[in-house]
Amino acid sequence: MKILIIEDEISLLEEVAIFLRNAGHLCECASTYYEAEDKLALFDYEMIVLDITLPGGDGLDLLKTLKQKHSETGIIIISAKNSLDDKLLGLNIGADDYITKPFHLSELNARVNAVFRRKFHKGDSKVSIAEFVINADAKSVSVLGNPVILTPREYELLEYMTINKNRMLSKQSIAEHLWGDDFDSDNYDFLYVHINNLRKKLVDAGAQDRIKSIYGLGYRFTV
Amino acid sequence: MKLLNQTNRIYLYSTGATMLVMLISIFFILKTVIKEELDEQLTQKATVAVEILESGTLPNDPFTIIETVGPHYQSPDIFTDTLIYNSSEGETELFRKLVTTTTIDQNKYRITLLSSELEWQDLIMVLTIIFIVAVLLSILGSFRLNKYLSSKIWEPFFYNLNLLKKFSVKQPADLEFSTSRIDEFQQLKETIEKLTARVSKDYRLLKEFTENASHEFQTPVSIIITKLDSLMQQEQLSKHDAEKLNSIRHAANRISRLTKDTLLLTKIESRQFSVESNINLAAVLSQQVGLHHEIFQTKHLNIQISIPESFSINANPTLLEKMLSNLLSNAFKHNVDHGWIKINLNSKKLIVENSGPDPGIPVNELFDRYKKGFQSSSSFGLGLAIIQEIAVFHRWLVDYSYDNSRHLITVHFNI
């Protein structure tokens, strides 16, 4: 997927670009309003990750012009403002999703994938990873052709892990993905139960045990 | 005491005292003047009586008494007051009396002349009454006038005072202060205008600063968290380093959450949320309880819930969710292993009770920002402050109590 990342904080921009490249996307970067304007005039992108507080102009203006020219492009807004007004405004102008700083890169990746799926893979949304086939529309999973019955939470967990495969996902990032941004806890031990149930169901269905715990930091789904 | 009453009271005392002094003085002055007048009349009557005597007759007047006295009788002219019994009226009357002597054809006469003071006394009485009535009328009149004038003159003052009473930095409205032709009031008005404008501006700047600072924090925190995330991806990470990275990330998360909470408080205070009607509180509460279910299990808490099927309320959905989430997470954080939580919702109030240790600080300080009872806990003490602010925003009332290892928070909806 060809993605343009527009973010004025170079350090963050680099990190997001490296991450999305590792996740298998083609990434380009712009750190100012004008740079972004130029790139958008010259090239087409499937996805744009846009920080709306940009030097040189309002990111929301960029969004407006963008929507007029390339209405098919998926757009995810990054904002430091956790403000409902900005969020609604952005979504009304045509953004597909909205994520507030600070965010987990794995969460951004999940959002990019979800937007991409919604925009470009209408109808067929089956993804094969190793011995799994995941149907994002039906929210179902099969292992080696046999369907596995998962609870909605377990499905979300597996989907999040497969989207961010081979990557250590922090417990907090998993908890926030499953329970929402405002979920506030010092203790993520309860995740353990869900991970264990999921692992058991997958292994029972004949899959390899691919979920590894990393020093209590989080979990990695290895393929 | 009102200013008008205060001035009226002083005015009444001073006028009363002045009038009393004047009344007494006038009484004595009148009395003296009348005495002099009476004495003059008596002297004239004496001259007339002497003339009548010289003509050889006696004056035909009951109040002129002529007596013959011895040739050696000596007496100066004496004016005195005397009481004489009036048999026809059956009472004694005050008379002015002149005793004088005269010699006509070697005969010495003592002439006693009397004149009633009664009518003069009546005159004094009438004059005094007229004076008192006039004074009372003038005092009453000036009271009325004062009242009327002050209601007119002070009108802009009271108008501005009422505006000031309603003034709140949190809800700055354009205050149209009333102008006055009176210099002092005009000065007061201008000063108040400047002051309220400055207070509102300072408050706005402070709020903007808090908002901007909170926003600006999020970008560096994002960088820290994303960089940490990529460090954590290293295959050859040692357990020791992993633990260090983990605690750095915990700290970064705390900064992020702290700024988010501070920002939320600022936004609630500046009314950046709108109220929607018919939010199903019962549904939102059930959903929040569901979200917290897993976390409650980590302390093996016994949960008892009593929620009606549907209960609608006017609220902002985001804030309502935040308040319920904070209430539940408080009930969890300040709980003990194998403790309990009781949630009870009815049309009047929501009660969240839980077992837990003593918070250790006075109950009324718990709702203050950055005050935390459990010093060891990693919360910032903003949880209750946010609950409180959200309640104030919706005009609900929150109260908290602790006794017997039991925390109890009640949100009253109809107040």
A181 touches B at CB < 8 Å? no
A32 touches B at CB < 8 Å? no
Average pLDDT value for residue range A85-110: 84
B251 within domain boundaries = yes
Percent of chain B having pLDDT more than 70?
A: 96
A223 touches B at CB < 8 Å? no
Per-residue pLDDT at A204: 92
Residue B172 contacts residue B144 (beta carbons within 8 Å): no
Residues 6+ apart with CB under 8 A from B310: B280, B282, B283
Per-residue pLDDT at B121: 81
What's the ipTM? 0.84
Nearest to B59 by CA among B77, B41, B47: B47
Report the Cα B12 to chain-centroid distance in Å.
25
pLDDT for residue B210 is more than 90: no
pLDDT for residue B144 is more than 70: yes
Structure confidence at residue B345 as a pLDDT band (50, 70, 90)? very high
B376 within domain boundaries = yes
B248 within domain boundaries = yes
Q: Is the peptide bond before A152 cis (omega within 30 degrees of 0)?
A: no
Chains A and B form CB pairs within 8 A to the count of 102
Write out the residue limits of the CATH 3.40.50.2300 domain(s) in chain A. Answer: 2-120
Structure confidence at residue A52 as a pLDDT band (50, 70, 90)? confident
Per-residue pLDDT at A64: 83
> Could you say which of B243, B272, B301 is where a domain stops?
B272
Domain span holding position B335: 276-412
pLDDT for residue B404 is more than 90: no
Tell whether B303 and B343 lie within a shared domain: yes
Tell whether B17 and B129 lie within a shared domain: yes
Higher-pLDDT residue of A185 and B403 is B403
Which CATH number do you get for residue B184? 1.10.287
pLDDT for residue B133 is more than 80: yes
Per-residue pLDDT at A157: 93
Residue of B208, B217, B225 to mutate, interface with A, max A Cβ within 10 Å = B225
Tell whether B207 and B227 lie within a shared domain: yes
Higher-pLDDT residue of B243 and B171 is B243
Tell whether B281 and B171 lie within a shared domain: no
B274 touches A at CB < 8 Å? no
Residue of A86, A108, A170 to mutate, interface with B, max B Cβ within 10 Å = A170
The continuous run of DSSP H or E covering B246 comes out as helix B239-269
User: Hey, CA dihedral for A193, A199, A202, A204, is it positive or negative?
Assistant: negative
**Rounded Cα distance, A85 and A91, in Å:** 10
B116 within domain boundaries = yes
pLDDT for residue A158 is more than 90: yes
Higher-pLDDT residue of B378 and B389 is B389
Percent of chain B having pLDDT more than 90?
A: 16
B332 within domain boundaries = yes
Please, which residues bridge with residue B98 across strands? B79, B113
Per-residue pLDDT at A1: 82
Average pLDDT value for residue range A52-78: 82
Q: Determine whether the interchain pair B298/A187 forms a contact, defined as Cβ–Cβ distance below 8 Å.
A: yes
B284 touches A at CB < 8 Å? no
Tell whether B301 and B262 lie within a shared domain: no
B287 within domain boundaries = yes
Q: Determine whether the interchain pair B291/A183 forms a contact, defined as Cβ–Cβ distance below 8 Å.
A: yes
Tell whether B167 and B147 lie within a shared domain: no
Tell whether B140 and B45 lie within a shared domain: yes
Average pLDDT value for residue range B104-131: 85
**Rounded Cα distance, A174 and B40, in Å:** 123
Which CATH number do you get for residue B297? 3.30.565.10
> Could you say which of B272, B291, B314 is where a domain stops?
B272
Write out the residue limits of the CATH 1.10.10.10 domain(s) in chain A. Answer: 126-221
Per-residue pLDDT at B318: 86
pLDDT for residue B380 is more than 60: no
Please, which residues bridge with residue A128 across strands? A133
Point out the residue among A104, A105, A184 whose CB comes nearest to the CB of B257.
A184
- Strands (DSSP E) found in B119-177: none
Average pLDDT value for residue range A10-29: 91
B157 within domain boundaries = no
Higher-pLDDT residue of B371 and B239 is B239
Q: Closest residue of A to B266, CA-based?
A: A83
Per-residue pLDDT at A143: 92
pLDDT tens track for A176-215: 888 877 666 667 778 888 899 999 999 999 889 999 988 8
**Rounded Cα distance, B109 and B114, in Å:** 16
Per-residue pLDDT at B379: 59
Q: Determine whether the interchain pair A101/B242 forms a contact, defined as Cβ–Cβ distance below 8 Å.
A: no
pLDDT tens track for B42-87: 899 888 888 888 888 888 888 888 888 888 888 888 888 888 887 7
A117 touches B at CB < 8 Å? no
Structure confidence at residue B376 as a pLDDT band (50, 70, 90)? very low
Tell whether B246 and B347 lie within a shared domain: no
pLDDT for residue A94 is more than 70: yes
> Could you say which of B130, B151, B172 is where a domain stops?
B151
Does domain A2-120 match CATH 3.30.1490.190? no
| DSSP H helices in chain A | 10-22, 33-42, 59-69, 84-93, 105-120, 152-163, 171-179, 190-204
A18 touches B at CB < 8 Å? yes
The number of domains in chain B is 3
Average pLDDT value for residue range A71-89: 77
Tell whether B171 and B127 lie within a shared domain: no
How far is residue B95 from each of residues B50, B98, B123, measured CA to CA in Å? 21, 10, 15
Structure confidence at residue B327 as a pLDDT band (50, 70, 90)? very high
Residues 6+ apart with CB under 8 A from B132: B23
pLDDT tens track for A33-42: 889 889 988 8
pLDDT for residue A4 is more than 60: yes
Tell whether B124 and B214 lie within a shared domain: no
Per-residue pLDDT at A182: 66
Average pLDDT value for residue range B381-392: 87
**Rounded Cα distance, B239 and A169, in Å:** 16
What's the CATH number of domain A126-221, 3.30.300.30, 1.10.10.10, 1.20.210.10, 3.30.460.80? 1.10.10.10
Point out the residue among B267, B273, B329 whose CB comes nearest to the CB of A184.
B329
Tell whether B204 and B240 lie within a shared domain: yes
Tell whether B263 and B328 lie within a shared domain: no
pLDDT for residue A124 is more than 80: no
Per-residue pLDDT at B171: 66
This model's pTM is above 0.80: no
pLDDT for residue A119 is more than 60: yes
Residue B388 contacts residue B411 (beta carbons within 8 Å): no
pLDDT for residue B310 is more than 80: yes
